[in-house]
Amino acid sequence: MRIVELNENTKKNLLEDLLKRSPNQYTQYEETVAAIVADVRERRDMALLEYTEKFDHVQINAENIRVTEEEFAEAYRAVDPEVLRVIRAAIQNIKAYHMLQKRNSWFDAQENGIILGQKVTPIASVGVYVPGGKAAYPSSVLMNILPAKVAGVERIVMTTPPGKDGKVNEGTLVAAKEAGVTEIYKAGGAQAVAALAFGTQSIPKVDKIVGPGNIFVALAKKAVYGHVSIDSIAGPSEILVIADETANPRYVAADLLSQAEHDELASAILVTTSRGVAEKVNAEIEGFLGGLSRRDILTKSIENYGYILIAQNLNEAVDAANEIASEHLEIVTRNPFEVMTKIKNAGAIFLGEYSSEPLGDYFAGPNHILPTNGTAKFFSPLSVDDFVKKSSIISYSREALEKVHKDIELFAKAEGLTAHANSIAVRFEK
């Protein structure tokens, strides 16, 4: 990995480099995605099935597009019982964490005849997109479905691309079933997003679409936003570690590689106050690479977006971390909780040398669907809040309105909206 001194120039160059990975930079694909979305909206199942054959190289029809109970049963037989045990243990942790996020409706009744409040209602139907292809991620299935279940969503529709054999990965199916999915359809890519957004003969329209995917999925979600709600536009994975001289270089190297293995665009950054730690981490990374299965991806990721930055002090390291606003942030310092209080921008924060990032990916409970590409400055992790909507409640008695009606009429007339003013005034005509 590149070892460079942290200064304004290196930070500026790094940020520019990282932002190149954003889905918003891939405008050359927007026209293609828009055409697919429009075609599915117009021709519905016919277009959806044609694109499935074209891109996934498998023939799916209206009779077999939905996963059957027999396919679920087959998946349960194929999954290692120990893996199923771990999935169920993870579900308990994830569900317990998200239960703490639940909000209740509230009302504030005042003595003067005014009642104000907020009504919290679950979204009726949600579409969960789950990537297929080379890798299957049952953990992401849990992270998308369980907050929706906790929120009270009635219909959770999942789409995922089938393999060439027309089947869905057994781990994906079992995780979805355990989490409480309503139905699963064998469709992927931009065409699946369009089907969820507008509905086809086979796939019902939903109110919101969540879940990560490739650049075509990300751009399709962007294209249908407004017709439905979406969670966010996900970019490549990233990790940033803040470390001082007390950090274990071997642990830090392993954690950096844990995210770099996702794909060639993944970013792994170490910001440290110790050059000695920087050099040892670099050596440990070289040592690890030879024994890891995704060595080619790791090598490209580190060459393209791997950095070790030497900071003068922890305050400078924190400033850099806040500017980068990483998806995953690990703090491995003498007093990580103290450093954490200075962090303003991060998707998820891991404190101490035994809080490795994969703990959050699989088991601890907090959601691992996180803001990427610096969007942690204004976005949050996926949560129960993403699956509810809020309505304001207003109730005034005649006596309460009488005290303020002239003020409201004055305000309305000042804006030139005399019908607004009249709506209040008619209630006090003599």
Which residues carry out catalysis? 327-328
Give every strand in the sheet of 348-351, ordered side by side: 2-5, 306-310, 267-272, 238-243, 328-332, 348-351
Axis crossing angle, helix 215-224 with helix 30-43, rounded to the nearest 10: 60
How far is 126 from 231, CA to CA, in rounded Å?
11
Give the Cβ contact number of residue 67 at 10 Å: 23
For strand 388-396 and strand 267-272, is the pairing parallel, antiparallel, or unpaired?
unpaired
H/E element holding 360?
A: helix 357-362
Axis crossing angle, helix 138-151 with helix 170-179, rounded to the nearest 10: 20
The contacts of residue 190 (CB under 8 Å, 6+ apart) are 33, 36, 37, 51, 216, 217, 219, 220, 223
First to last CA, the chain: 81
